[in-house]
Amino acid sequence: MPINEELTIRMDNRPGSLGKVCRALADRGVNILAFQSIPAEKTILVCMVVDNPAAATAILDSKGISYAEGEIAQVKLPHGPGELARAASKLGDANINIHYAYCGVEPDTNAPLVIFGVSEVGRAATILDQTAAAAAATT
C-alpha cells in the first residue's frame, strides 16, 4: 500500500498523554504501524499510521481528541545498508521534497516500513513502489 493515511495529534506534553491515546486505540483493536512524536515546550505532536484509520478516527472523536488527517507515501524496504539512501535518493532525483520521514513495521512480515511526508504523494508512491520492487528483485 504505497499511499496511506496519517493521523496527526497535538496533545499536552505531560506524563501519560501518549499512553492514554495509544491505550484507547489498542483497547479497540487498532494497531499502530508507525509513529513519531515531536516534543515542544507544552505540547507534543504525534504522527501515526494505523491499520484501521476509520476506527481510529471514530475512537479519537469519541474521546474528544483533536487530530488532522493527511496522506503519506509508504514503502516496505528490505532491511539492509543503503536501502533508505536508495529510496530517499530516488525521490530527490524526481525533485520530490521530503518534509519528514519516520519508520514502523509491517504487521504481517515485520519488514521495515518507511513513512514519507512528501510534496507529491502520488508520484512519490509510484517511485517508492518501483524502488522497493527493484530492491526485492536483488535480494
Rg, Å, the chain Cα set: 16
Indicate if 64 and 13 belong to the same structural domain: yes
* Domain final position from 48, 69, 90: 69
Give the pLDDT score at 108: 85
Indicate if 46 and 64 belong to the same structural domain: yes
Domains in the chain: how many in total? 2
Indicate if 64 and 32 belong to the same structural domain: yes
- Contact 132/77 with Cβ under 8 angstroms? yes
Q: What is the pLDDT of residues 47-96, one digit of tens each?
A: 999 999 999 999 999 999 999 999 999 999 888 899 899 999 999 999 99
Examine residue 34 and state whether it is found in any structural domain, yes or no.
yes
Give the pLDDT score at 131: 87
- Count of CB atoms within 10 A of residue 21's CB? 23
50: domain CATH number is 3.30.2130.10
Record the pTM: 0.86
